[in-house]
Amino acid sequence: MSSQTYRSTRSTGAEAFSFEETVLKGLASDGGLFIPSVIPKVDSQIIESWSNLSFQDLAFQIMRLYVKESEIPDEDLKKLIHNSYSTFRHEDVTPLNTIDEGNGLYLLELFHGPTYAFKDVALQFVGNLFEYFLQRKNQGKSDADRDVLTVVGATSGDTGSAAIYGLRGKKDVSVFILYPTGRISPIQEAQMASVLDPNVHTLSVKGTFDDCQDIVKQIFGDAEFNKDHHVGAVNSINWARILAQQTYYFYSYFQLLKKVGSDKKIRFVVPSGNFGDILAGYYAKEVGLPADKLIIATNENDILDRFLKSSKYEKGGDVKATLSPAMDILISSNFERLLWYLVRDNITKSDEKAGETINNWFAELKQTGSFTVQEEVISAAKKDFDSERVDNADTIKTIKDVYTSNTTKYVLDPHSAVGVTASYRNIAQDKAQKVENVKYISLSTAHPAKFAEAVNQSLSSIEGYSFEKEVLPEELKQLSTKELKIKLIDEANVEVVKAAIIEELQKEGK
């Protein structure tokens, strides 16, 4: 029985938001992120009893811990989960692939959803949740009175297509994704624009990604526009995404134990940007998953790696454009959630005081570009986390090494290669220190076909290698022949974008 409620990481008072409010609001009005202040604990026998469940049944057990039955009854939650994962191409949803048994390295493939990247695992579910809550609010209402949601977002690639595939065809929801004209890959553009559902709108904006993001922020801050159109977000800080991602930590853990025996220590290695993926691993561990450690793998945008080594959370210079662009960030938004628990449990011992501390730290970050935490916070973090920073040269080398040493010629995408590089560094350390019985689950966050440039840079000198034949799936090949629906916005201006949104909503009859 769950009695779960949610609060904001920056709140200094008592708060109890429902799951529905948490999901539909996305971000708390004080600027903080929603969290369950009590993380549910499950005893080890019950966790063991989950080891033979299907992905969907396991998702149900985990989500049930965080969502009250009075908010979503069992049957409805089951249906939401089944619909969300019926769009995946693999029967395991997130299969575990053995890539180097001798070294105890396994790859958790998270890219079998409709857009070939890990964000589908969460956004397929979030799209269905939005529709579910809206349908319930709108029951028995006439067309004029219905609550509708206008989701507006900016993308530099992956999030946009995963959001579009999560929301296509959903009743009472329209989605508008802005991207900078000519600055995303043709595959990414075609993935978004080939979705012809009337409620999906891709806006190609003449400008940069920052221009797009600024316009989105201005639209969110526009009270009048909000009142008329109920603007919503599906960005990486929505709690439902963290919730949905917990399933694959449990699922892959059980799959690996079946292969290697239960006396092994299992570590997860996670290519990280906004810290959403790996944070789900932290919740899974707190719930009771007996995993050993979570290893944060960053690219050259390494705020998390620097923080664990220095206690200082610091923006640093400008964001670096790397071969793993979905991890190119200055600040890891979801990290605030972890900090809250570390502070509450180790320093303040109170929810309200933890909110006050987080508030002060993030005000300091805004003013000075950094804040420094107590030694106790770092040592608590290190009980669960380690980190590795991986540069472009190592990313390229790993893609090549794995392809040439693996008999099945496995091709990694550059994000997954950051994780695999970090895994091999840990494996080498274990060997040097004669640590045995450790196995690694490295998370693979995208299909290599989505990042042709980095993959070809790594492999094109190898005789016989062919991107078309070995990497590109038939479905993505066909994208180049599909009809595209793109609305060109020839000026990066919020008024022009708002007018375009209103025009499209009118066409939809909203």
Ligand X SMILES: *Cc1c(COP(=O)(O)O)cnc(C)c1O
**Residues belonging to the active site:** 119
Q: Which is nearer to ligand X, 346 or 395 (CB)?
A: 395
Q: Does 446 bind ligand X (CB under 6 A)?
A: yes
DSSP code per residue over 322-348: -S-GGG--SS-TTHHHHHHHHHIIIII
Min CB(414)–ligand X separation in Å: 9
Q: Does 26 bind ligand X (CB under 6 A)?
A: no
Min CB(121)–ligand X separation in Å: 11
Q: Does 158 bind ligand X (CB under 6 A)?
A: yes
Q: Does 188 bind ligand X (CB under 6 A)?
A: no
Q: Does 273 bind ligand X (CB under 6 A)?
A: yes
Q: Which is nearer to ligand X, 120 or 351 (CB)?
A: 120
Q: Which is nearer to ligand X, 34 or 225 (CB)?
A: 34
Q: Does 272 bind ligand X (CB under 6 A)?
A: yes
- What CA–CA distance (Å, rounded) separates 402 from 455? 12
SS3 state at 465? coil
Min CB(247)–ligand X separation in Å: 15
Q: Does 419 bind ligand X (CB under 6 A)?
A: no
Among 15, 100, 131, 277, binds ligand X (CB under 6 A): 277
Among 59, 105, 327, 501, binds ligand X (CB under 6 A): 327
Stretch that binds ligand X, among 34-42, 111-119, 186-194, 472-480 (CB under 6 A): 111-119
Helices (H) and strands (E) in the chain, counts: 20, 15
Min CB(272)–ligand X separation in Å: 4
- What CA–CA distance (Å, rounded) separates 360 from 7? 17
The token pair that represents 54 in the structure block = 């299907």
Among 113, 160, 232, 276, binds ligand X (CB under 6 A): 276
Min CB(322)–ligand X separation in Å: 11
Of the CA atoms within 13 Å of residue 172, those in its CB half-sphere come to 22
Q: Does 388 bind ligand X (CB under 6 A)?
A: no
Q: Does 399 bind ligand X (CB under 6 A)?
A: no
Burial class (CB in 10 A: 0-12, 13-18, 19+), 87: middle
Q: Does 117 bind ligand X (CB under 6 A)?
A: yes
Burial class (CB in 10 A: 0-12, 13-18, 19+), 248: buried
Q: Does 326 bind ligand X (CB under 6 A)?
A: yes
- What CA–CA distance (Å, rounded) separates 266 from 445? 19
Q: Which is nearer to ligand X, 8 or 274 (CB)?
A: 274
Query: Element (H or E) spanning 375, and its range?
Result: helix 375-384
Min CB(126)–ligand X separation in Å: 14
Q: What are phi and psi of 456, to 5 degrees?
A: -70, -35
Instruction: Name the β-bridge partners of 33.
Output: 27
Q: Does 160 bind ligand X (CB under 6 A)?
A: no
CA quadruple 478, 484, 490, 494: dihedral positive or negative? negative
Min CB(316)–ligand X separation in Å: 17
Q: Does 119 bind ligand X (CB under 6 A)?
A: yes
- What CA–CA distance (Å, rounded) separates 456 from 452? 6
Among 174, 188, 236, 255, binds ligand X (CB under 6 A): 236
Q: Tell me which residue of 121, 43, 136 sits closest to 85, measured CA to CA.
A: 121
Q: Does 271 bind ligand X (CB under 6 A)?
A: yes
Q: Does 238 bind ligand X (CB under 6 A)?
A: no
Min CB(242)–ligand X separation in Å: 9
Q: Which is nearer to ligand X, 207 or 419 (CB)?
A: 419
Q: Which is nearer to ligand X, 303 or 446 (CB)?
A: 446
Q: What are phi and psi of 488, to 5 degrees?
A: -85, 130
Burial class (CB in 10 A: 0-12, 13-18, 19+), 244: buried
Q: Which is nearer to ligand X, 81 or 329 (CB)?
A: 329
The token pair that represents 393 in the structure block = 């040269």
Q: Residues with Cβ < 8 Å from 233, sequence gap 6 or more?
A: 26, 27, 151, 152, 153, 220
Residues lying near ligand X in the complex (CB under 6 A) are found at 117-119, 158, 236, 271-277, 326-327, 415, 445-446
